[in-house]
Structures are given as C-alpha cells and as structure tokens.
C-alpha cells in the first residue's frame, strides 16, 4: 500500500509540473517559439536557479519572439532523477534542455531520453575551449556527445580548525591513513563533547552523495574498485568494499558520526552545509569542492568566517598506499531531450548558458572546477574561494565512477548495503554478500568477478 501511495504521489507531482508548465501561456509541446528547461532546485543549491534565470533573460532579449519556460524540480538527488525520468516518458511533459548528471548519461541514452549533440558542438567554436576529459565525461559508450559540461569537482576532508584546537589537534592536519581519521574523531569525541566528530554520507535517502562522497571515497582508497576496465567486469564481493563498510560501521557504532536517524534523513546534505558546519556542530566532513557555494554572500547560508574556520585535507588511502591520497570527480551537463521538437533552439540556449561569460559566472557562484580553459585562466576565477587551488590540485589523482548504463542501479545497491550496516540490520560481511548477489542480478553473473 505504501509503495502504491508513493507512486501515486509521484505521478501527481509530475502531472502538476506538466499542468503548471502548460498553464504559463508560453509552454507546451509543439510550440515552435518556446523551450522548456528542467533542472534541480533543492536545499542549499540555488546557483543553478540563478544561472538559468540569468540566461533566460539574455536568451529572450537576443531572440525576439522566443520564450524560455523554466521548470525547477524540487527534490534531492534521487527524487530529481526519478521525477525527470517520469517527465521524459512523454513528449507533452519532456523538457527541451535538462540538467543531467554525467553518471546517468549512459543509462539515459539507453532509456532513449537524450539526443546526441555532435552536429551542434562540431560547429560551435567554443567547444574547443572544453577540456578533453570533460568532453569524455559527456560522451556516451557509442562515442557520441550527449551533454555540454558545466563544471567538475573533487572531494576531500573539511575540518573545523576551532574544534581541532579545542581537541589539541593541529591546524594543518593531514591524515595519512583511515586509522588517522578515526584517531582524530575519537579524540574530538573525548575532548569536545556535544560535537559530531565525523560525517560520512550513507544510505538511500542521500542518493548519489552516499555512494560517491561516502562509500566510493573509501573504496577507491583500497586495492579494489567497482569495475575492472581491463576485464570488463564488476567487482563483487571485494575486500575493499567490505573494509569500507567496516569503516562506516565503526564510526556509526562508536558514536563518531551523526545518529543513524539524522544520517538517513533526505536533508542531511542540506543540514551539513547550512547548519552543522557553520554552527560548529560538526568537526570533520568528507565532502566536495562545491561546499563554499552555500557560504558565499550569494549562497543559501552566508557565512563570512568560513575560510578562517574551515581547513582542508586530502582523503588518505586506506593504509597510505601510493599515491597516498584519493579523490572522486563528477559533474553536471546541460543535455537535450530526445523528445524535444525545438532542438535548434534548445542548443542555442545550451550554448548561451555555457559561453565563457555564463560558465565563469556559474563556476564562481557554484564553486566548481572549470572545464573551459579560458574560464580556468580568467583572473577573476578563484578570487572569492581560497580553497579552489587545493581542490584543483586533486585532479591529477582523482578517480571516476564507471560511466556505464548499470551504474545507477549498482549505486542504489551500495546505498542499500550502507544502510543495512549502519542501522544494524546486517554485518559488513553479510551486506557485501547481499550486494554481490544484487549486482549479479543487475548485470548477469558472467559480468561479475570477486576482488
């Protein structure tokens, strides 16, 4: 009954989006003068909304008679992707341009949601400014381009230097192993009561932040990965996967992390950036380079002192194995719906949104690592973010998720395993076996190998 009610609510939500769009007077499928732009608007992330409003004004001024209908979708990462997929099922509700995560590109190609952009980008002079790696992140397994990258990111440890001082920990802290992180967290718990020592995202409510910022930042610091590019097989079970679950079990069972109820809340990411860190209630956070976007004067929770209070350390490998530190990178793109009937107009919007001026605006306001060479070299980039150089320095050692169609389903199973462990429903050994069984069910037993 619960699932049926949830499905009905979701369908009603999509219907509401469609009705709202059609009711604007300038939307609706088949209108040759109007394009619809769908994007996520949730929690602390408000920079995308600001960008699209800015580009809408520019676009309509430069193209008299043409209209842009913005369709902001309220919801966390998982909800956004679900709602967007439902919109894409019908030409009547499908957007022309959509905010697309790089890790879902291949699964969305397989689902028939995205249109290739090669005929457009090959004629766009600005395309030469985009870094090869960023172009690759927006390229499908068929070799075609399906998105224009907006920026990229890296991940590391954020820590509160004021809390560290109270705990007798150094302001230039740089852990060399997972054990060093645990030692710092235990010291903080003992010496600074009332503070959460360490946040590592876990569970289904967090969606991809749990898989990538949480589990994969641990896993890729071991001898194992999710997928073996040489054998073309998914790795399950593996010692590294189990070790990562054991680390997560340790911090949650020892009270070094948020309570399971808090950690498994859909709003945990918003709480971390908007409340726990600025209010001095969280000492260490395993998170992304984009965090300052929340604290800038234009952010959702301005915090003038953040650059003096917060420090950064690279995430170490499990036991200090070379190269000694690890990061994960991702990023978002602007893509075009396969069901768009205004593809030329849609790409004109995309190319306007990602020209140098607007890409620079977005990368500064959203604290993104630029993917355009001219933006990266612009003197104004990085001036308001003293952490930009540190996070950019992690690019040479960063890792990427397997950009393959099954990945979103496998990512979901990572979250299931995490949640089972931190809630006490399964041991790490049992959870990893359940994970391996699920992976075999997704890709077939012949495409899976133990690590």
The secondary structure of 116-184 as a DSSP string is --HHHHTT-GGGGGB-HHHHHHTB-TTS-B--EEEEE--EEEEEEHHHHHHHT--TT---SSHHHHHHH
- Claim to verify: residue 415 and residue 322 sit in the same structural domain: yes
Say if residue 383's pLDDT is above 90: no
Choosing from 346, 363, 391, the residue where a domain stops is 391
Is residue 398 in a domain? no
Rounded distance, CA 203 to CA 180, Å?
24
SS3 189: helix
Residues 61 and 111 in one domain: yes
Is 57 domain-assigned? yes
Q: Among 11-25, 92-106, 395-409, 418-432, which stretch is predicted with the lowest mean pLDDT?
A: 11-25
Number of helices followed by number of strands (H, E) in the chain: 20, 15
Angle at 435 between CA 429 and CA 438, to 5 degrees: 145
Strands 325-329 and 315-316: antiparallel
Q: H helices of 254-382, where?
A: 260-263, 268-271, 306-309, 343-353, 356-365, 373-376
pLDDT greater at residue 326 or residue 382: 326
- The stretch 342-354 carries a mean pLDDT of 98
Residue 399 lies in a domain: no
Residue 236 lies in a domain: yes
pLDDT above 90 covers a percentage of the chain that reads 88
The rounded distance, in Å, linking the Cα atoms of 166 and 197 is 12
pLDDT, position 23: 35
Tell me, what CATH number does 342's domain have?
3.40.190.10
Cα–Cα distance for residue pair 74/99, rounded to 1 Å? 13
> Are 420 and 438 a contacting pair, CB within 8 Å?
no
Look up the pTM and report it: 0.89
Query: Token pair of 281, please?
Result: 């209630």
Residues 284 and 385 in one domain: no
Whether the per-residue pLDDT at 2 is higher than 80: the answer is no
Please give the Cα distance from 218 to 226 (Å, whole number).
11
396 lies in some domain: no
Distance separating alpha carbons of residues 153 and 169, to the nearest angstrom: 28
Contact between 149 and 331 (Cβ < 8 Å):
yes
Angle, in degrees to the nearest 10, between helices 77-88 and 2-22: 60
Residues 6 or more apart whose CB falls under 8 angstroms from that of 412 comprise: 204
**Whether residue 161 is found in the same domain as residue 80:** no
Distances, alpha carbon 336 to alpha carbons 134, 350, 385, 446, in Å: 17, 9, 31, 34
Instruction: Say yes or no: 212 and 142 in one domain.
Output: no
- Write down the pLDDT at residue 17: 42
**How high is the pLDDT of residue 7?**
35
Q: Give CA separation, 125 vs 118, 122, 129, 355, 436, in Å.
A: 13, 8, 8, 10, 46
Is residue 318 one of the residues assigned to a domain? yes
Are 161 and 87 found together in one domain?
A: no
Q: Is 87 left (phi over 0), alpha (psi -120 to 50) or beta?
A: alpha
- Reduced to 3 states (helix: H, G, I; strand: E, B; else coil), residue 335 is strand
- Looking at the fold, whether 267 and 205 belong to one and the same domain comes out as yes
268: tokens are 């945990």
Residue 362 has pLDDT above 80, yes or no: yes
Sign of CA dihedral 190, 194, 199, 202: positive
SS3 content of the chain, % helix, strand, coil (to 5): 45, 15, 35
Both 342 and 229 in a single domain? no
Residue 99 has pLDDT above 60, yes or no: yes
Please tell me whether residues 245 and 263 are part of one structural domain: yes
Identify the three-state secondary structure at position 336.
strand
Average pLDDT over residues 216-224: 98
Domain-embedded: residue 219: yes
Q: Which residue range forms the structural domain that includes residue 262?
A: 155-329+404-449
In this model, does residue 28 exceed pLDDT 70? no
- In terms of domains, do 164 and 304 share one? yes
| Torsion angle of C-alpha atoms 176, 182, 185, 186, degrees rounded to 10 | -130
Asked if residue 316 has pLDDT above 70, the reply is yes
Is residue 244 very low, low, confident or very high in pLDDT (cuts 50, 70, 90)?
A: very high
Q: What is the pLDDT of residue 44?
A: 84
Position 9 pLDDT exceeds 60:
no
pLDDT in the model for residue 398 = 96
- What is the pLDDT averaged over residues 242-257? 98
What pLDDT does residue 30 have?
A: 61
pLDDT in tens, 108-156: 999 999 999 999 999 999 999 999 999 999 999 999 999 999 999 999 9
Are residue 324 and residue 190 in the same domain, yes or no? yes
Residues 349 and 434 in one domain: no
Number of domains in the chain: 2
- The model's confidence at residue 19, banded by pLDDT at 50, 70 and 90, is very low
pLDDT tens per residue across span 387-446: 999 999 999 999 999 989 999 999 999 999 999 999 999 999 999 999 999 999 999 999
**Beta carbons within 8 Å of 40's beta carbon, 6+ residues apart:** 48, 72, 73, 75, 77, 80, 99
């Amino acid at each position: 009954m619960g699932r049926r009610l949830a499905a009905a609510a979701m369908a009603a939500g999509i219907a509401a989006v469609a009705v709202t769009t059609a009711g604007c007077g300038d939307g609706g499928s088949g209108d040759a003068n109007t394009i619809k732009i769908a994007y996520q608007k949730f929690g602390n992330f408000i920079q995308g909304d600001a960008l699209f409003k800015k580009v809408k004004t520019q676009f309509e001024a430069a193209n008299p008679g043409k209209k842009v209908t913005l369709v902001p979708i309220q919801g966390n990462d998982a909800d956004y992707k679900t709602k967007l997929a439902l919109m894409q099922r019908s030409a009547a509700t499908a957007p022309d341009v959509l905010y697309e995560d790089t890790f879902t590109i291949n699964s969305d190609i397989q689902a028939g949601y995205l249109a290739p952009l090669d005929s457009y980008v090959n004629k766009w002079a600005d395309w030469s400014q985009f870094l090869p790696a960023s172009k690759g992140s927006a390229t499908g397994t068929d070799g075609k381009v399906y998105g224009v990258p907006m920026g990229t990111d890296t991940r590391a440890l954020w820590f509160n230097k004021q809390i560290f001082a109270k705990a007798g920990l150094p302001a230039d802290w740089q852990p060399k192993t997972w054990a060093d992180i645990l030692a710092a967290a235990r010291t903080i718990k003992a010496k600074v009561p009332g503070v959460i020592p360490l946040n590592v995202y876990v569970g289904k409510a967090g969606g991809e932040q749990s898989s990538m910022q949480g589990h994969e930042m641990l896993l890729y610091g071991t001898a194992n990965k999710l997928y073996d590019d040489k054998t073309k097989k998914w790795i399950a079970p593996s010692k590294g996967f189990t070790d990562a679950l054991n680390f997560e079990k340790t911090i949650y069972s020892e009270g070094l992390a948020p309570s399971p109820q808090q950690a498994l809340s859909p709003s945990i990411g918003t709480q971390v950036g908007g409340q726990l860190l600025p209010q001095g209630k969280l000492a260490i956070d395993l998170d992304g380079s984009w965090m300052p976007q929340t604290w800038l004067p234009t952010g959702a929770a301005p915090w003038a002192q953040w650059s003096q209070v917060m420090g950064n350390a690279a995430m170490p490998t499990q036991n200090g194995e070379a190269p000694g530190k690890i990061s994960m990178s991702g990023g978002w793109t602007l893509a075009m719906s396969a069901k768009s009937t205004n593809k030329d107009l849609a790409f004109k919007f995309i190319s306007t949104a990602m020209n140098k001026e607007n890409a620079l605006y977005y990368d500064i306001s959203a604290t993104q690592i630029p993917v355009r060479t001219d933006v990266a070299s612009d003197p104004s980039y990085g001036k308001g973010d003293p952490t930009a150089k540190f996070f950019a320095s992690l690019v040479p050692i960063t890792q990427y998720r397997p950009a393959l169609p099954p990945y979103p389903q496998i990512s979901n199973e990572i979250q299931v395993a995490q949640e089972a462990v931190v809630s006490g429903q399964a041991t790490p050994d049992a959870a990893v076996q359940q994970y391996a069984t699920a992976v075999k069910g997704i890709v077939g037993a012949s495409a899976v190998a133990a690590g």
